[in-house]
Structure 1
Amino acid sequence: MKDIPVHQLKKRSALGLEIWHYSIDEMRMEESIMEAHRDDHYIFFVVESGSSAMMIDFIEVSFSANSLYYVLPGQVHHGISKKHAGGWFLAVDAMLVPPDYRKVFEGQLAVQKPYTLNEGQMKQCRGLLVLLQQRFDEHESSTFNTSIVLSLLQSFIGIAAGCYAESNCHSLKVSRPVELSQQFKALLIENYVTIKSPSAYAEMLNVSQTYLNEALKKTTGFSVSYWIQNEIMLEAKRLLYYGGKNVKQIAHTLGYEDHAYFSRLFKKSEGVTPLSFRAEYRK
């Protein structure tokens, strides 16, 4: 059986971000429908005109003008409509999405629905994204420009999280594996520093470790152990990128007494040492 491909953002962007604007005419030039795949990052869409549709984890989601949407890391998705939309596309490394915002995005019990933006919200998003793209295109040419790019990105993600936090889009029926996966993710975000055992999370959820593992693999394509390590590495990258703690301090912050073990774990996961990661992202 062919594995579902996983697209990795770090292969395309060292900054952890991609952004572009596309028109309906530009989309019509791309007649091929994207094959089903997962991403290891968030995707955000702001649709300005036209209409289209995607399949997200076996749920058809339709887009129309003035809508906001996101795809979570791990969700299987592909295009299913020959209609075309124009608007904005952002790919964002999960480490750049603050935990409080992630709780909103990942806390949906059902497959998330598009959020309809009112005139004021659409104007704010459009203005912010225009400036974000301009600064992103120039981020290596000006002092502090990378910091400005990330600040603008945080503003957009905050607006998106605020929209979904205020919405009540929970009408779709959810399966037990999906519900269990969301409960696990909520527990993980709260407890990953002190609890790193898959069996402990299974016990907290009153299910067997085998069943929890099967549920997560079915809904996300990844195991319990993968998500635990992923959460730890995301926070490690945040601390390395934004903070001033040394590797030993970061290891202790994340619940590791042996910082050398933590460094080995980080390198195995990310392909570089913690210090090399910090040096690369702080150029």
Structure 2
Amino acid sequence: MTDDLGTGITIEKIAFQQLPPIDNADTGEEDRLAHRHNTHTFHLLQQGTVAIDIDFQHYNMEPSSIIYIHPHQVHRTTALSEITVVSLAITNENLNPEYLNLLESMAPVKPLLLPSESFTLLDQAVSLCLNVFGRKADKLYHSLLKDACNALVALILSVYLEQTQSTSKLSRFELITQAFREHLERNYTTVKRPADYAQKLNITTAYLNECVKHTTGYSVSQQIQQRIILEAKRLLYHSDQSVKEIAAELGYDDYPYFCRLFTKSTGMSALAFRTKNHY
């Protein structure tokens, strides 16, 4: 799907009776192995069932459901049966800035089973997007496609947001934790001290730690470490980079320290993790 991203947007409807073999020419090896895209992707499962791994969590999807996959997330399909799915891929540049901010703040999310009314509305929006996508000769083609697909994204967002707590109802502890996580997502490779995050939020380190631990059950240091280890797992899972290269990319010039940190956090060495998860 992402091979046809000349406009920064692509949408298609596909159907499979069963999961094609890895070397199938129509799907490509990458689609069957662990991978990630540089786009925001949305999959509306209309029929059939899908088993999918996203960031080392296993999910089973049933009709009619939706899943949003963030550009950073590593994923692979492990099984499917008689599916019909509509998939949208869209780059940051083509997303409404408000929708992009919301997607960044709510990622990661789980597959969501849709109420019939929501599914019908999304299905109608999908039909519009697919029709516009096929009208490449139209003079306003890209503008029409961008507007139609952003409307679809907005509808998907509204469904997800209905299932989560409204920001207006969040406690101060939860709001601070949310702000910390947003800073962490942007800075985890370069900023690793809790005090630096507290400074960004204009609060004390002790108060930041109190807020985060009350909301998540983990300290600020643990949250930072968990985010770094997640990215390390993603890179070990789907890239060919050496462990030393991954350590450097994540901001660790002290390679032995990074190795000890990974082992302490996961209970196995980085090389053992790569071997265990190699497909």
TM exceeding 0.5: yes
User: Which of the residues 15, 18, 30 maps onto 1:23?
Assistant: 15
Aligned residue for 1:51, secondary structure, equals: strand
Give the superposition deviation at 1:61.
Answer: 1.3
Superposed CA offset, 1:177-225 (max 9, x none): xxx9975552379x99xxxx84754754759xx98875444324589xx
User: Partner residue of 1:133?
Assistant: 130
Q: Which aligned pairs between 1:140-219 and structure 2 lie closer than 5 A?
A: 141-168=137-164, 184=180, 186-187=182-183, 198=191, 200-201=196-197, 203-204=199-200, 206=205, 215-219=226-230
Specify the code of the residue in structure 2 equivalent to 1:135: V
Contact 2:129 2:148 in 1 (8 A): yes
RMSD of Structure 2 on Structure 1 (CA): 3.9
TM-score by length of 1: 0.58
TM-score (norm 2): 0.59
Count of residue pairs the alignment pairs up? 199
The runs of 5 or more residues in structure 2 that have no matched partner are 23-30, 166-175, 210-220, 236-245, 251-279
Structure 2 counterpart of 1:91, one-letter code: A
Distance 1:58 1:39 in 2: 16
Tell me which residue corresponds to 1:120: 117
Conservation of the 8 A alpha-carbon contact between 2:51 and 2:79: yes
Task: Flag structure 1 segments of 5+ consecutive residues without an equivalent.
Answer: 1-6, 170-179, 228-283
- Post-superposition Cα deviations, 1:130-177, rounded to whole Å, max 9, x if no partner, equal 2212211223x11112111111011000001101111039xxxxxxxx
CA contact (8 A) 1:18 1:92 kept: yes
* Aligned-residue identity in percent: 18
Following superposition of structure 1 onto structure 2, how do residues 30-69 of structure 1 map, counting pairs within 5 Å?
30-32=20-22, 34-69=32-67
Measured in 1, the distance between the counterparts of 2:200 and 2:134 equals 46
**Relative to structure 2, which stretch is displaced further, 79-88 or 144-153?**
79-88
Change (3 A) 1:147 1:204: same
Higher Cα Rg, which structure: 2
